[in-house]
Amino acid sequence: MANDWKDRLGTVYSTNPDFQYESGSDEEKETLQPGKQDLRVQLDKKQRNGKKATLITGFVGKDDDLKELAKLLKTKCGVGGSAKDGEILIQGDFCNKVIEILKSASYKVKRSGG
């Protein structure tokens, strides 16, 4: 390991002799094939000021692939939404349409309560 002291500027050190410095760079998970993904679709009304939203959870993979899938779903539904932390949020009640779109793209999809 190179002595990358510039990466550690501003870091507070421990007096523990067993302390190991962690840079905090998490390795992203490799994106699973659509057939191996186990996605759950549910209608979400919590903390949304009474508005409905379709929530897709269970995606395993890179953020770029998650955002690409979210873009596809938002385009097909004609609405806005967001994608972060392995979840896709589509504005409005589009559970059935989202399930059909995901199944046609070879994803394993289940509808869960919510």
Dist CA 109 CA 105 (whole Å): 10
Tell whether 16 is covered by a domain: no
Tell whether 24 is covered by a domain: no
pLDDT band (50, 70, 90) for residue 21: low
Instruction: Give 33 or 100, the one with higher predicted confidence.
Output: 100
> Whole-model pTM?
0.72
Contact between residue 108 and residue 37 where contact means Cβ atoms under 8 Å apart: yes
Tell whether 10 is covered by a domain: no
Domain boundaries, position 77: 31-111
Q: Summarize the confidence of residues 8-35 as an average pLDDT.
A: 68
Model confidence pLDDT, tens digit, residues 36-80: 889 999 998 887 788 899 999 999 989 999 999 999 999 999 999
Tell whether 5 is covered by a domain: no
User: How many domains are contained in the chain?
Assistant: 1
Q: How far is CA 77 from the centre of its chain?
A: 19
Query: What CATH code is carried by the domain that includes residue 48?
Result: 3.30.780.10
- The pLDDT value recorded for residue 81 is 94
Tell whether 71 is covered by a domain: yes
